Each structure stands twice: as C-alpha cells, then as structure tokens.
Amino acid sequence: MKKIQLIIGFILTAVLSAALTYNFTQSTNTSLKAIGSDDPFEKLRSTYETIQSDYYQDVDSKELVEGAINGMVESIGDPYSDYMSISEAKSFNENISSSFEGIGAEVQDNNGKIMIVSPIKGSPAEKAGIKPKDKILQVDEKSVEGMTVNEAVMLIRGEKGTKVKLLVERDGVGELELTIIRDTIPLETVYTEVIEGNIGKIQITKFSETTGTELAEALTELNEKNVDGLVLDLRQNPGGLMDQAIGMSELFIPKGKTIMQVENKDGSKEVYKSEKDPALDVPVVVVVDNGTASAAEIMAAALHQSAGIPVVGEKTFGKGTIQSARGFDDGSSVKYTIAKWLTPDGTWVHEKGFKPQYEAKLPEYANLPYLDPDKTLKEGDSSPEVKTAQQMLKAVGYDEIGAEGYFDSGMKQTVEKFQKDQDLTVTGEMTSETIIKLMETIQKQLSDNDTQVKKAIEVLNENN
C-alpha cells in the first residue's frame, strides 16, 4: 500500500498541487487504520465495503465476491485448483460426463502458462497437430497471459464447425499458429480392434463416468474372439476420474494386490487393493507416452507393479495429485487438491512421470508441426511452413525437395508429382487440397508404422 501511495503521490505532485497530494495521503492513512484487525476476514470485508461505497463507479457485488474467491484459490499456486464460474463448472462437468463441442484437448496451468496435457484421440486438436506440453499463447489473437485455465478454455471452446486460431509455443520448435475447426467431442472413450498376430488392442482416451463399463465390454468382446494377447494403449490420455482408474485396474490386477496409495495432508495413507480377479487370461502390454497423465498413470503403474505387466513407450506426463470439487447453490464450484497419489510401491510420480521398462519412440515425422490448409505455399516462398511441407514430403517418400525452407523449382516439381500420384489437381502449389492430403498421408503412414505398438507386440511375443 505504501508503494502505491508513494507512486501515486509522486504523480499527483507532478501534475497537481502539494495540498491535493497531502489530502489523498491523509485519506489513505485513515483507510489503513480502519482495516487493521486480528481477524483476517475483517480486512476482506472492509475492502469490499470500501469499494462498494467509495469506488467512483458502481461495482457488481457478485463480481467482487467471485473475484475474491478466485484470487484466494489462485494464491495457493496449485495449477490443479480452480474457482469455476457457473458456465465454467458446467463445461467441466460436461468434459467428464457427456459429449461437448470444442477442440478436444486437456489443458492445465503451468507456471502461469496454459499448457496442453494431451489432445483427445480423433479430436480436432489431435488432427491439427497439437502436442502434449504445447503452451497456448493466444486464442484468436487474444493473449491468454494472466488468464485462469477455465477462462482460456471458455475462449477455446465453441460451436461445432467454427474456427479457432491458436498461437502455441513448442519446445525446440518455437511459435506455431494453428487454425482448428471445432467439432463434437464424443463420450466414447474406449476403442477396440484386433491387429496383427491375433492381438487385441484397446485404446482408452480418457477416464470418464462410462469408461469402466466400456472397458469391461471391450474385454468381453476380445475374450469371445480368443485373442492371444492384448495391447492396452494409454497414450495421449489426460486422465480423469480416480474411481474409474481403480475399477479398471481391478480388471487386470489379482485380488488383494495394491492398485494405489493416497497420502493425505496429515501424512496418513489409504491403500486401495484389487477386490477382483483379472478378466482376461492372456499376456498384456501397456503403451504410454508424455501425454499419459493422472488416472492413466495410476493404471499404468498399478498394472506394472502389481500385475507384472510390461510398459512400453515414453516417460509419462507426471501428475500425482488428486482433486475434489465442491459446488455452490448457484452452480459455480471450487476444484481443489486434497491429496497425493502414490504408485503401489509408494513412488510419487508428480512432475517426474512414470518411466516405461521398454523405451520406444514414434518416427521423427510424428512431431512435425501442423500445416494450415488456408495458407497456399508456392514457388518463391521461404518460410518455416515450406520447411515443414518439405519434411512431410520426404517422410512419405519424395526425396527431391530442394533447398531447406525455400520453395524452388525442384520443390515445385516434387509437389506436382505428389499431386499426380494422389489424383489431385496438378498446380505445383501447396494448395488446401494438397496440404490436407499430405497430412492424411502422414497420419496413415504413422498408423501403419506405429513403432510403439510394434514394440509392444514384440514384448508380448517374448513373454507369451
């Protein structure tokens, strides 16, 4: 307060009279005495009353109270604790219980920045090339600096079919501008298929209210098909409900074995054990990556440490805390961290992640930035986008790409060849049609050459 008084006093001295500065200071000192009290809430009440009575404009009392609550929760400095307004609380509940419209990505606060935890499988965010650990700088050219996670989410979400432009920062790459078309993000969270060698593959995209039921049905389906093994894919899974993680882990962990531990504020621990026997009597391997977080990490660690199931892939995200939410009568709520969760052997993975026993990475081209189909690239252009297009073309078998980052005549000929091979209009320019087809080709190649799943199958065969 003294610092503010001195600064304002200096400005007033420069532009008004000493008498006005003196009067302002007198008034400020009087207010300071009025809020002195051993009761911390007296200071809060006094500030509220002062603003209501003395502020030069009318202020909505509800906004003052919500601002105070929000500031209180923010002061904790915990990226997983938030005050959610009515609309934000509704959006949060939809995310774990039903479909919603948006881009399909889990975000969190990371040292004051809005960071992607993971895009959801098949979502517009995933298709646009959003990656875990990307930091969002702007939404539709509006800076999100200083915003809460919920405020940023409300900007990003929108009606199906509408576009949102994100400026993101990616480690090792720099700033990227992505234009994403919003869509309906479905409730379905479990995807099942049978892959090479009669191996069942189940991908779990998040842990919502219905995921446990979906997983049980998927296991029954694969059991009926007499698969010889199972790959459980938890990549790009941002987590969700803890009770679902426990119930789903029970489907793989022998009765009586530990699933997880919860360490409370006072240091006491609760141990959660499996109360069932495994639902599928075949070898299992789990696949994870740096987008595997929270409840997905609980499950991966539990299956490895308590059921001896191998884990393949990359080190997980590292989110080792548990949140609860308390709602207000008006529909708003406070989400806050209540405890730590520990793996069965007592390890806290927070900010460290869970390391797989078998490391496997995707091909380098899996990390290439997204190309905006709305931007045509042509001969004479020189930009990071041209470099990305060249890398994509090279990844799908076109080696004559010209000088790096420069769209020269050689690059034009390569683009013409790609267009001819794909039955596209041959223009020699990277048009919207060409860019979309190129990215689709990359995605298909990545799916056909999923090195992490191939490693999982290799491990399955070794253990079978």
What DSSP string runs through 145-178?
TT--HHHHHHHH---TT-EEEEEEEETTTEEEEE
What confidence tens digit (pLDDT) does each residue in 124-177 have? 998 888 988 899 999 999 999 988 888 888 899 888 999 999 999 988 888 888
Give the pLDDT of residue 252: 97
Q: What is the mean pLDDT of residues 58-63?
A: 92
Options 2.30.42.10, 1.10.3720.10, 3.30.70.20, 2.120.10.70; CATH for 99-185 is 2.30.42.10
pLDDT at 237 > cutoff 50: yes
For the chain, give the percent of residues with pLDDT over 70.
Answer: 91
Residue 399 amino acid letter: D
Residue whose pair of structure tokens reads 């929108």 in the numeric block: 158
Q: What is the domain partition of the chain in residue ranges? A: 99-185, 190-363, 366-448
Q: What is the mean pLDDT of residues 430-446?
A: 92
E runs forming strands in 291-393: 311-313, 321-327, 333-342, 358-359
Give the pLDDT of residue 20: 35
Please provide the average confidence, as pLDDT, over all residues in the chain.
Answer: 87
Q: Which of 138, 323, 413, 443 is catalytic?
A: 323
Q: What is the pTM of this model?
A: 0.78
Give the pLDDT of residue 193: 94
User: Coil, strand or helix: which one is 197?
Assistant: coil
Are the C-beta atoms of residues 217 and 241 closer than 8 Å to each other? no
pLDDT at 37 > cutoff 70: no
Quick one: pLDDT band at residue 95, thresholds 50, 70, 90?
Answer: low
Query: In the numeric block, which tokens belong to residue 429?
Result: 């320019």
Q: Which CATH superfamily groups domain 190-363?
A: 2-enoyl-CoA Hydratase; Chain A, domain 1 (3.90.226.10)
Rounded to whole angstroms, the Cα distance separating 342 from 297 reads 10
Are the C-beta atoms of residues 358 and 376 closer than 8 Å to each other? no
Q: What is the mean pLDDT of residues 80-95?
A: 82
pLDDT at 19 > cutoff 60: no
Give the pLDDT of residue 32: 41
Quick check: is 335 catalytic? no
Rounded to whole angstroms, the Cα distance separating 348 from 15 reads 58
What confidence tens digit (pLDDT) does each residue in 239-280 have? 999 999 999 999 999 999 999 999 999 999 999 999 999 988
| φ/ψ (deg, to 5) at 106 | -90, 135
Quick one: pLDDT band at residue 122, thresholds 50, 70, 90?
Answer: confident
Lowest-confidence range among 44-48, 264-268, 288-292?
Answer: 44-48
Give the pLDDT of residue 68: 92
366-448: CATH number: 1.10.101.10
Quick check: is 319 catalytic? yes
Quick check: is 225 catalytic? no
| φ/ψ (deg, to 5) at 373 | -65, -20
pLDDT at 21 > cutoff 70: no
Higher per-residue confidence, 11 vs 266: 266
pLDDT at 92 > cutoff 90: no
Query: In the numeric block, which tokens belong to residue 70?
Result: 């929000």
Q: Which of 118, 123, 294, 306 is catalytic?
A: 294
Give the residues across from 176 on adjacent strands.
168
In which element (H, E) is residue 113 found? Answer: strand 113-119
Q: Which of 121, 201, 319, 437 is catalytic?
A: 319
Quick one: pLDDT band at residue 40, thresholds 50, 70, 90?
Answer: confident
Rounded to whole angstroms, the Cα distance separating 459 from 284 reads 9
Lowest-confidence range among 150-159, 200-209, 267-276, 412-421?
Answer: 150-159
What confidence tens digit (pLDDT) does each residue in 341-383 have? 999 999 999 999 999 999 999 999 988 888 888 889 999 999 9
Residue 415 CA neighbour count, 13 Å, CB half: 25
Are the C-beta atoms of residues 36 and 29 closer than 8 Å to each other? no
Query: In the numeric block, which tokens belong to residue 415?
Result: 């683009």
Are the C-beta atoms of residues 209 and 247 closer than 8 Å to each other? no
Rounded to whole angstroms, the Cα distance separating 364 from 451 reads 11
| φ/ψ (deg, to 5) at 73 | -70, -40
Q: What is the mean pLDDT of residues 50-63?
A: 93
